[in-house]
């Protein structure tokens, strides 16, 4: 009779790593962590970059972002009038502008034109609901002692306004509109005047400068010619 040998199928025991192996593995992990700390964590979190790797990877910009200072609006002295009695003569043509914006609930925006002292503009704006409103101007450059940085022309809750402005000083002149309610409000302003440019300033302090169209750039359809006898 052939003798059969039985096997238990139990796995072979795995030998525990030696103290030397554990120390070697721990040292390697600590070395990698130290490299990551110096090259990545410190530059990104604290702008500390002893190796220069963080700067090349753009990580120091995360900890210390570069602040972008808004450029002042361009001034155009050619749009300052030469007064001749009741007439103000300009060596350049006036501009035309249409601006429309939707204000989210409780959001605000400022929209202003660069005007030289004595320059004029005509305007009309309308909102789909009443808004908090401040029509004012801000001086360009340094402000002398006793002169306010901003001067208000009209400040009250409105839904629309039409009028004209002759700039009392060189600077930006326009509106602050704020949505006081829980529904969106659409505001549309139309203007023409001797301004150089305009700027919109949002609730998050972002600014956008607009290049405005000269009056002769308007596309107007010609009127049909008159016929004899009113036919």
Per-residue pLDDT tens over the stretch 77-120: 668 888 888 898 888 889 999 999 999 999 999 999 999 999 99
> Which residues have C-beta within 8 Å of that of residue 215, sequence separation ≥ 6?
93, 94, 95, 96, 192
Q: Where are the domains of the chain?
A: 19-63, 77-216
Output the CATH code of domain 77-216.
Answer: 2.60.120
Least reliable range by pLDDT among 2-11, 24-33, 40-49, 199-208: 2-11
Per-residue pLDDT tens over the stretch 130-184: 999 999 999 986 555 555 678 999 999 999 999 999 999 999 999 999 999 999 9
Residue 80 CB neighbours (<10 A): 20
Confidence of residue 46 (pLDDT cuts 50, 70, 90): low
Per-residue pLDDT tens over the stretch 182-197: 999 999 999 999 998 8
């Amino acid at each position: 009779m052939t003798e059969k040998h039985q096997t238990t199928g139990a796995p072979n025991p795995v030998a525990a790593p030696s103290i030397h192996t554990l120390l070697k593995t721990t040292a390697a992990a600590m070395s990698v962590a130290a490299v990551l700390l110096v090259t990545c964590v410190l530059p990104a979190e604290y702008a500390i970059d002893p190796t220069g790797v963080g700067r090349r990877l753009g990580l120091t910009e995360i900890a210390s972002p570069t602040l972008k200072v808004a450029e002042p609006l361009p001034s155009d002295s050619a749009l300052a009038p030469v007064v001749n009695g009741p007439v103000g003569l300009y060596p350049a043509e006036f501009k035309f502008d249409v601006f429309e914006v939707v204000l989210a609930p409780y959001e605000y925006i400022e929209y202003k034109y660069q005007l030289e002292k004595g320059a004029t503009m005509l305007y009309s704006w309308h909102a789909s609901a009443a808004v908090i409103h401040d029509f004012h101007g801000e001086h360009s450059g340094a402000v002398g002692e006793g002169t306010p940085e901003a001067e208000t022309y009209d400040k009250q809750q409105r839904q629309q306004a039409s009028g004209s402005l002759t700039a009392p000083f060189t600077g930006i002149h326009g509106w602050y509109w704020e949505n006081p309610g829980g529904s969106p409000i659409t505001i549309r302003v139309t203007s023409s005047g001797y301004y150089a440019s305009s700027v919109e300033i949002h609730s998050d302090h972002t600014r956008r400068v607009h290049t405005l169209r000269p009056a002769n750039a308007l596309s107007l359809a010609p009127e049909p010619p008159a016929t004899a006898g009113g036919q």
